[in-house]
Structure 1
Amino acid sequence: MAFPLTIVLLISLSIFISCLHASDPPLTLDYYASTCPNVFDIVKKEMECEVLEDPRNAALVVRLHFHDCFVQGCDGSVLLDDTVTLRGEKKASTSVNSLKGFDIMDRIKNKVESECPGIVSCADILTIAARDAVILVGGPYWDVPVGRKDSKTASLELANANLPAAEEGLLSIISKFLYQGLSVTDVVALSGAHTIGMARCANFRARIYGDFEATSVKTPESETYLSNLRSMCPAALGGDNKESAMDYVTPNLFDNSYYHILLNGEGLLNSDQELYSSALGIQTKELVIKYAHDPLAFFEQFAYSMVKLGNITNLDSFVNGEVRQNCRFVNT
């Protein structure tokens, strides 16, 4: 059976990246066992406070972790502020005006530093916090390997190039995941994190005034949902920063409702609905259906995929990295 050239290229890229990541430095579960044995408890307690204050904080931290790992690996580069000598990633096209949660990381880092000064990297804290954030809103548990170092650099260019955008097509999204050593299955499972996320009007305007009606099942509920979206997000310029939940059914609960929304053709972002509606998404469509009907399978795969995401590393951070005292700035 002959495969389209685009699929062949994606398969070849996947094999290449698998080899590329095979020699990544190892992470371990007991890295801080003797130097900061309470770090997991500290992060968990702080995340409990943050999510209790506002359940949406869970999604902010998970998104921060994702943005960190897709640029230079999971090395805390996303947390760096711009300085005279360093250009950070916070103003990347997929991050500016929408990436939040930096103050949450500041508070957790301060707590960890007070007990274990100079021991635990910001990259590890963010990875642990993302796991705890998911659990606190009903999601699955997974063990978090640790031992990352914080980078002394950031890359606005890589942030703009590597991170998937809201209006991106399916093959482009898949290629960006494959580049990180993540599979098509990981694409669909990790996208399920949008069950607790919010999106800005600027990122879903084209969708709700584009093909939303074509993919939607056109029930009274669906029509009301679209009408509400359009009322808060006008077709003309304005209201860019107004937000809507990507899972309008259970926005503060980590469950598989997101996939049911895609089955109904009501995905808020084009990049989400493409997983089910794209003519090129034979495998992704099957996975959306599977996770919609089997929440346990989704939870198991999401946990596995989050470990893979968190294990994206680069040798430079291990050799030349550090443990930042302040997550926003490299040590002086």
Structure 2
Amino acid sequence: MAPPPPSPAFLLGLLFCSSFLLLSESSLTLHYYSKSCPKFEQIVQEAITNKQITNPTTAAGTLRLFFHDCFPNGCDGSILLSPTPFNPSPERNSDINLSLPGDAFDLLVRAKTALELACPGVVSCSDILATAARDLVTMIGGPYYPVYLGRRDSRLSKASLVDHFLPLPNMTVSQLIGLFASRGFSVQEMVALIGAHTVGFSHCKEFAAGIYHYSKSSSYDPSYNPKFAQALQKACSNYKKDPTVSVFNDIMTPNKFDNLYYKNLPEGLGLLASDRAIYIDPRTRPYVVAYAADQSRFFRDFSAAIQKLSLYGIKTGGNGEIRRRCDAVN
């Protein structure tokens, strides 16, 4: 099944995106630190390489951290701020962010520390996060895409500003489409970005409703592959006592960025309810089918969508600051 032709609204969105990119490039550039911190890319690369080798889930965790920073209110490093007596509930304390992996936060601390030694007060935490996410995607087999640099870090971070503005694993396709549209993303871009589920894992509590006591006639959601559902029931049997119990999103190649996520969906191997829903719904299914059939197309569309996300809601100039520490305002 071929994807539907672009609608006028989608073409208008592309025009908006192009205009936004051109406006952003006036303050952000690909080589922003070439003179002020010439070893920027090398230092970030060393930090991510060391962390990914020792903790192979770092790539997925950092990609998720990047999305959770950017999608609610822009790529400004606000997710990185820790609680203080004056701000006891920053974004990272929001319920949906409590499961963000510590490895990703630790990576930012390591990279920032090294950069402060090399070029103090120059590189923003939001630029480090955007670059680290891209480099890690590439490291685990995904596409390379340009990252424009020159962001400033936010001085504001409140859990209330992200509640209800991040996708949940049990959302309907209509809810997901509405949420992504509110941030300027088309259905196609949404499906491409959801492809990030090709790496990483989800905690059992996020999909337990689909594998235990689903209905009177079935213990699990019939959209699951039966053997997969039964395996999940065994893997998650202790999740109430141990909320950290989790399962890989893509059981075939869990640590490789590829298009296996999409290939799994027609087989009933989508872990989350929202994963299985985008294959069932006629608005999103054509893109799932297209990406399952053509990894190069997925990589192209993912690159374009995540680059667009990386420019969403950025702060420049006096609208932000260059933090000395990523977890605290200056």
Q: TM-score, normalised by structure 1?
A: 0.87
Instruction: After TM superposition, list the pairs within 5 Å mapping 1:168-247 onto structure 2.
Output: 168-209=171-212, 210=214, 213-218=221-226, 223=227, 225-234=228-237, 237-247=240-250
Instruction: After TM superposition, list the pairs within 5 Å mapping 1:13-162 onto structure 2.
Output: 18=16, 22=20, 25-26=24-25, 27-86=28-87, 87-100=89-102, 101-162=104-165
Question: What's the secondary structure of 2:162's corresponding residue?
Answer: helix
Contiguous gaps of at least 5 residues in structure 1: 1-7
Distance 2:119 2:181 in 1: 36
Question: What's the secondary structure of 1:71's corresponding residue?
Answer: helix
Q: Partner of 2:309 in structure 1? A: 309
Q: Partner of 1:5 in structure 2? A: none
Q: Partner of 2:272 in structure 1? A: 269
Q: Partner of 2:4 in structure 1? A: none
Distance 1:142 1:313 in 2: 19
Alpha-carbon shift at residue 235 of structure 1 (Å)? 8.8
Alpha-carbon shift at residue 133 of structure 1 (Å)? 0.7
Q: Is the 8 A contact 1:51 1:58 kept in 2?
A: yes
Q: Does residue 1:325 correspond to 2:285, yes or no?
A: no
Q: Partner of 2:3 in structure 1? A: none
The amino acid that maps onto 2:187 is V
Alpha-carbon shift at residue 104 of structure 1 (Å)? 1.2
Aligned pair in 2 of structure 1 residues 319, 174: CA closer, same or farther (>3 Å)?
farther
Alpha-carbon shift at residue 72 of structure 1 (Å)? 2.1
Q: Is the 8 A contact 1:140 1:299 kept in 2?
A: yes
Question: What's the secondary structure of 2:168's corresponding residue?
Answer: coil
Distance 2:138 2:199 in 1: 12
Contiguous gaps of at least 5 residues in structure 2: 1-6
Q: Partner of 1:300 in structure 2? A: 300
The amino acid that maps onto 2:96 is T
Q: Does residue 1:290 correspond to 2:290, yes or no?
A: yes
Distance 2:176 2:127 in 1: 26
The amino acid that maps onto 2:224 is S
The amino acid that maps onto 2:246 is E
Q: Is the 8 A contact 1:69 1:310 kept in 2?
A: yes
Q: Is the 8 A contact 1:98 1:200 kept in 2?
A: no
Alpha-carbon shift at residue 296 of structure 1 (Å)? 0.6
Question: What's the secondary structure of 1:244's corresponding residue?
Answer: strand
Q: TM-score, normalised by structure 2?
A: 0.87
Aligned pair in 2 of structure 1 residues 213, 165: CA closer, same or farther (>3 Å)?
closer
The amino acid that maps onto 1:306 is I
Question: What's the secondary structure of 1:182's corresponding residue?
Answer: coil
Aligned pair in 2 of structure 1 residues 190, 236: CA closer, same or farther (>3 Å)?
closer
Alpha-carbon shift at residue 22 of structure 1 (Å)? 4.2
Q: Is the 8 A contact 1:201 1:243 kept in 2?
A: yes
Structure 1 residue runs of 4+, over 6 Å off? none
Alpha-carbon shift at residue 217 of structure 1 (Å)? 4.6
Alpha-carbon shift at residue 286 of structure 1 (Å)? 0.3
Alpha-carbon shift at residue 314 of structure 1 (Å)? 4.4
Q: Is the 8 A contact 1:184 1:284 kept in 2?
A: yes
Deviation per CA, 1:72-124: give whole Å up to 9, x if none. 20000000001111231112121113443211110111111111110010000
Aligned pair in 2 of structure 1 residues 184, 235: CA closer, same or farther (>3 Å)?
farther
Alpha-carbon shift at residue 304 of structure 1 (Å)? 1.1
Question: What's the secondary structure of 2:244's corresponding residue?
Answer: coil
Question: What's the secondary structure of 1:261's corresponding residue?
Answer: helix
Distance 2:42 2:211 in 1: 43
The count of residues paired between Structure 1 and Structure 2 equals 310
- Give % identity: 37
Alpha-carbon shift at residue 232 of structure 1 (Å)? 2.7
Q: Partner of 1:3 in structure 2? A: none
Alpha-carbon shift at residue 260 of structure 1 (Å)? 1.1
Deviation per CA, 1:211-260: give whole Å up to 9, x if none. 95411354xxxx1x322211232398333220110000110111111001
Q: Is the 8 A contact 2:66 2:133 kept in 1?
A: yes
Q: Is the 8 A contact 1:207 1:268 kept in 2?
A: no
Q: Is the 8 A contact 1:77 1:89 kept in 2?
A: yes
